[in-house]
Structure 1
Amino acid sequence: MKKNLLALFLLFTFIFQSSASAQTATKAKSPARNASDTITAAQLKDYLYFVASDEMEGRNTPSRGLDITAKFMATLLSRWGFKPAGDDGTFFQKIALVRNQVDPEKAQVELNGQKLTYGTDFLADANSGAVNAPLVFAGNGW
């Protein structure tokens, strides 16, 4: 009787420890680990092709394509169990962007009395100001 009781005790101990360690291992998995266990190479390829597609318009900042891509990535992160850490409980953080643009009509360069054309003869940054200095040809960049 004592041998049977001891065997039963050891059996229950083994079963309890196995189930407890399995539960601990499941709980300890991070969202990244869970995602990596379920995502296939084919899915990643599909995601990459979607994000890199012409429909995303190059994902310029800011752009409609960037917004679509960001929402797509947030949906995937949420589906995979990641917790948002952005503004108002989202995956996004709003930041103010400044976009400078060159006005081709006001961007002027004159060399020895000859006016040069913006975009063809020279390129300029969107900073304003006047410069009176010699022009130096630095080659074709090759």
Structure 2
Amino acid sequence: MKPVNPEIHHDCRPVGEILNQIGGKWTVLIINLLSDGPMRFSEIRRMIGGISQKVLTATLRDLEMDGFVTRTVTPSIPPRVDYELTELGHDLQRPLKLLGKWAVDNRPKVLEARERYFAEHPDAMPQRKGRVAPRQLLVAAE
């Protein structure tokens, strides 16, 4: 099969590898939070809400490993740890911000499409783990 546009032929493996890391819901939220400047671990956790300490720690480590975030420890009692976006992290934040705006702007259309789908397929249930049923989303939107 030929690529639709041969000028834009990409090897999908690197794209999938990077999107796997940056596509997580916690990653997007953390990157957007840190776009306003450095934050302490406890501030990030409080601002996000619903994220466990273990998951936040793992996500921040992954972001540091991939060069999106720096971690600075200031010796004190208790030690102060700040997280800040790197230049690469700020560069990533730009498309994430656009994607976030698109999601907010188009959420009503997506919810309507889901409602139509479930009206036509009453026995269908969301199959992906963590996926919220459309009726729950509609209630949350009100």
Q: TM-score range by the shorter chain?
A: under 0.3
- Which structure would you say has the larger RCO, counting Cα contacts within 8 Å and 6 or more residues apart? 2
Instruction: Mark the structure with the bigger radius of gyration.
Output: 1
Q: Structure 1 length normalisation: TM-score?
A: 0.22
- Structure with the higher fraction of residues in helix conformation: 2
